[in-house]
Amino acid sequence: MSRTTPHAHPTEEAGSAVDTHCPYCALQCGMRLVPDPGAAGGVGVAERAAFPVNRGALCGKGRAAPETLARGLRLTEPLVRDPGSGALVPADWETALARVAEGLAGTRRDHGADAVGVFGGGGLTNEKAYALGKFARLVLGTSQIDYNGRFCMSSAAAAGNLAFGLDRGLPFPLADIPRTGCVILVGSNPADTMPPALRYLTELRANGGTLIVVDPRRTRTAEQADLHLAPRPGTDLALALGLLHLVVAEGRVDEEFVAARTTGWEEARAGAMAHWPELVERVTGVPVPRLREAARLFCAPREAMVLTARGPEQQAKGTDTVGAWINLCLATGRAGRPLSGYGCLTGQGNGQGGREHGQKADQLPGYRMLTDPAAREHVAGVWGVDPATLPGPGRSAYELLDALGRDTPDGVRALLLLGSNPVVSAPRAAHVEERLRALDFLAVCDVVLSESARLADVVLPVAQWAEETGTMTNLEGRVLLRRRALAPPPGCRTDLEVLNGLAARLGWEKGFPTDPAEVFEELRRASAGGKADYSGITYRRIAEEDGVFWPCPETPDGAPHPGTPRLFLDRFATPDGRARFAPVLHRAAAEEPDAEYPLLLTTGRVLAQYQSGAQTRQVARLNEAAPGPFVQLHPRLAGRLGVAEGERLAVVSRRGRAVAPARISAGIRPDTVFMPFHWPGEGRANTLTNPALDPTSRMPEFKVCAVRVERAVNG
């Protein structure tokens, strides 16, 4: 394997092959970029079989990733809004940066620091996430910063912190999954969302293990399961409680583990016993015999795992729902020991690291909490400022977006947006678009002219994944080095260079270096002693070891810490070392069907597109595979509506209307329709979704809302 050093920064001129990582999901698959002058982006993709996460396998998006580097598909010069015509017109960098600095500084001067907001992204490197959080809190002095990772795994993070005292997507490597005895996969379809991960589930079954998939749709992943449970959307909490009820009733509780390593069992047990099988069948639609079979299969082997994803997490009760699945693991002793446990399949490329180091509204680097005086003192010391000058926690992502452009004392009037496209990806998206349009000033850093960037006063063209070096933290907690393989086009700058330029214009000549290695060295110091301790990780170690698992502190004697591939084997990260059961009960979704809106909508992804589609929709072969939105519905529902395959349907919720062709399939519940969320325009699924928030994680309820479906006779 190539041992490129982090400072070598090989370029296309050097003619070197470079080992790096895919720009998309949280697997962060290893790949090798090879110079190819005939390719659209100047490089081609080769397999990197030695990298342990994907072992050379890549999905279609990964193989097509270099095509996003093609210069004709992207921004290569700044754009500013012409006050006369209202159009975005080309400008030089000096003009554009001066305009952004004045827009942010003027708003702060006239309306206060919290009138300026910052919204980041789960695809930013750790270095950029760290610098962005520092820029918001020091240069702008604002508390109003959050990121789209709030829409990814925040409910699982909240539940993990409550139960274990620590949140890391997977507390064990992916390689452990095929070696366990049973996996319950809840609300995840890796066959479409992260295909190279599917081999771990295939290997599990080849090794004699059992796969149970919980999903209201019979997805390509569900088709591979030994048992598929298809609950009504929004009832995953009742399902988990019902399985725990059966575990108790059938004498399958690991009493020794519960007594030795947990607290709160009696209250959790009482909650589960209130959810007897017949009640759970009525709530979820899952027949009692299948519930009993799931409990038996999960408890039969000594080792087992529960893995959740957006299905149970993107609900207004997502934290409690994940807590209930963790309860099932704890009660059966399937946590805190090898080849067992609960894990979350993080979605975005750096959804984990993006919040660990400062983009999230309530956190400082190292997964420190802003309300902790010791955390504030430590980070302020690294930054060379008085802890009292650091603002407190701000609004969560949707609450921040909802506050944009409001003419109120606490309204956010100017926004700096990096690495996100909320016009497509946010819940109640038409409303979010209105709020962005209402801003006094909007600056966007992006690779392409996304739907959100089209609304900006200034658009700054930035480098992308293969054009800059930086670290990413994948869903296992493995910190990886994404290496630069070629130079960005003339006219583009890195996000670190943008923040450096803005900071200098706003009075901070120092403190915002442009070299990612220098930023990472500071991040190491800022994270030292925190939950997400990276202080023992270096670029060189990452390159030599195929990534390093956090926490990885510096050791007193200077010897390399081995990293922590497996958490909680000796104790949990709580003050007493015990895991905590969640005292939860099922409750209805924030919005249930009624006579006017009799169906449920759930949303998700398709194989050939990614997130808001801002980049994948630029690639011809991906668009050929997935050209646009659709509405999946059951044949019985299609028959009642008199709808044929491909006919245009209107899906209507209390928030708006989306129109897309019908896709008729027996692989979905008759009371449910499904739409992918990658597209803007009339087929924008998030026009419909409900921004009702989980009280703990502040996650919106993307995965369930009441709708009606009708033929789009007049378009």
pLDDT tens digits, one per residue of 444-481? 999 999 999 999 999 999 999 999 999 999 999 999 99
- Cα–Cα dist 300/182, whole Å: 8
pLDDT computed for residue 1 by the predictor: 29
Listed residue (510, 503, 517) closest to 468, CA to CA: 517
Quote the tokens at residue 7: 């400072």
The CATH class, in words, for 154-344 is alpha beta
The per-residue pLDDT for range 298-336, each reduced to its tens digit, is 999 999 999 999 999 999 999 999 999 999 999 999 999
Q: Which residues of the chain have pLDDT under 50?
A: 1-14, 715
Structure tokens at 450: 């996304």
Burial of 235 (0-12, 13-18, 19+ CB in 10 A): buried
CA distances from 555 to 171, 311, 375, 458, 537 (A): 22, 40, 20, 46, 11
Alpha carbon 141 to chain centroid distance? 26
Distance separating alpha carbons of residues 550 and 167, to the nearest angstrom: 11
Res 523: pLDDT:
98
Spatial separation of the C-alpha atoms in residues 624 and 614, rounded to whole Å: 16
* Pair 215, 228: CB distance under 8 Å: yes
Q: Is 84 helix (H, G, I), strand (E, B) or coil?
A: coil
The domain segmentation of the chain, as residue ranges, is 12-73, 79-151+349-549, 154-344, 599-711
pLDDT number for residue 15: 66
Cis ω for the linkage preceding 393 (within 30 of 0): no
Q: Are 233 and 186 in contact (CB under 8 A)?
A: no
Measured CA to CA, the distance from residue 147 to residue 119 in angstroms comes to 5
The answer to whether 433 and 310 have CB atoms below 8 angstroms apart is no
Domain boundaries 599-711, corresponding CATH code: 2.40.40.20
SS3 709: strand
Q: Give helix 373-383 / helix 516-527 axis angle, nearest 10°.
A: 150
Domain covering 12-73, topology: N-terminal domain of TfIIb (2.20.25)
| Residues in CB range of 559: below 8 A, 6 or more apart | none
Q: What is the Cα–Cα distance from 255 to 463, expressed in whole angstroms?
A: 55
Q: Which CATH class is domain 79-151+349-549?
A: alpha beta
Q: How far apart are CA 280 and CA 573, in angstroms?
A: 33
Q: What is the pTM of this model?
A: 0.95
- Whole-number pLDDT of residue 7: 34
Distance of CA 109 to the CA centre of its chain: 34
Residue 714: predicted pLDDT: 61
Per-residue pLDDT, 3: 31
- What DSSP element (H or E) covers 80? strand 79-81
pLDDT in tens, 257-286: 999 999 999 999 999 999 999 999 999 999
DSSP letter assigned to residue 462: B
Q: Identical fold at 12-73 and 154-344? A: no
